[in-house]
Structure 1
Amino acid sequence: MKKRLGLVIGLSAAILIPSLQETKAEESPKHHHKIDIVAHRGASGYAPENTIAAFDLAVKMKADYIEIDVQRTKDGKLILIHDTTVDRTTDGTGKVGDLTYKEIRRLDAGSWMSEKYKGEKVPTFEEVLKRYKGKIGILIELKSPELYPGIEGEVAKLLKAYHLDKPRNEKVIVQSFNFDSMKEADQLLPRIPIGVLINKTADTTDAAIEQFSAYAEYYNPSYGLVTAELVTKAHEEGMKVQSWTARSRETVQFLLEMKVDGIITDYPDYVK
Structure 2
Amino acid sequence: MSKKWLIGTGVALTLFLTPFSQAFADGITEGERKKVDNVAHRGASGYAPENTIAAFDLAVDMKADYIEIDVQRSKDGELVLIHDTTVNRTTNGTGRVGELTLEQLRKLDAGSWFGSEFAGELIPTFDEILDRYRGKIGILVELKAPELYPGIEAQVAEALKKRNMDKSKNNKIIIQSFNFESVKKVNELLPRIPIGVLTSNRADTTVEALQEFSTYADWFNPSYGIVTKELVEQVHSLGMKIGSWTVRTPEAADFLFEMGVDAIITDYPDYVDPRN
**Partners in 2 of 1:172 and 1:97 — Cα distance?**
25
In 2, the alpha carbon distance for the partners of 1:58 and 1:202 equals 33
User: Is 1:73 paired with 2:95?
Assistant: no
Q: Which amino acid aligns with 1:126?
A: D
Q: Give matches, 1:1-272, under 5 Å.
A: 32=32, 34-168=35-169, 171-272=172-273
- Listed one character per residue, the Cα deviations across residues 88-132 of structure 1 (whole Å, up to 9, x for unaligned) are 000000000000000000000000000000000000000000000
Unmatched segments (≥5 aa) in structure 2: 1-28
Distance 2:217 2:232 in 1: 15
Q: Deviations over 1:16-73 (max 9, x none)?
A: xxxxxxxxxxxxx996361000000000000000000000000000000000000000
Give yes or no for contact 2:168–2:194 (8 Å, CA) kept in 1. Answer: no
Give the alignment's Cα RMSD to 1 decimal.
1.3
* Pairwise CA distance, 1:198: 1.3
Query: Counterpart of 1:187 in structure 2: which amino acid?
Result: E
CA contact (8 A) 2:134 2:171 kept: no
**Counterpart contact for 1:170–1:192, Cα < 8 Å:** no
TM-score, normalization by structure 1:
0.88
How far residue 167 of structure 1 moved from its aligned partner, in angstroms, is: 2.1
Per-residue Cα deviation, 1:76-99 (whole angstroms, up to 9, x for no partner): 000000000000000000000000
Q: Is this contact kept in 1: 2:105–2:123, CA < 8 A?
A: yes
Hey, what's the Cα distance between the residues in 2 that align with 1:126 and 1:169? 18
Residues of 2 paired with 1:65 and 1:222: CA distance?
Answer: 18
Q: For the pair shown, which has the larger CA radius of gyration, 1 or 2?
A: 1
- The question of whether the paired residues in 1 share the 8 Å contact of 2:135 and 2:171 is answered with no
Query: SS where residue 241 of structure 1 aligns?
Result: strand
Distance (Å, rounded) in 2 between the aligned partners of 1:236 and 1:245: 24
CA gap 1:208/1:73 in 2 versus in 1, 3 angstroms: same
The percentage of aligned residue pairs carrying the same residue is: 65
Structure with bigger RCO (C-alpha 8 Å, 6+ apart): 2
Q: Deviations over 1:130-176 (max 9, x none)?
A: 00000000000000000000000000000001111012267100000
Letter in 1 for 2:61: K
Q: Alpha carbons of 1:30 and 1:196: their partners in 2 closer, same or farther (altered >3 Å)?
A: closer
Which residue type is aligned with residue 220 of structure 2?
Y
Quote how far apart the aligned CAs of 1:184 are.
0.4
Give the aligned length: 244
| Contact persistence 1:66–1:137 (CA under 8 A) | yes
- Aligned to 1:38, the other structure's residue is in SS state strand
CA distance in 2, matches of 1:204, 1:236: 13
| Letter paired with 2:32 | H
Where structure 1 has 5 or more consecutive residues not aligned to the other structure, the ranges are 1-28
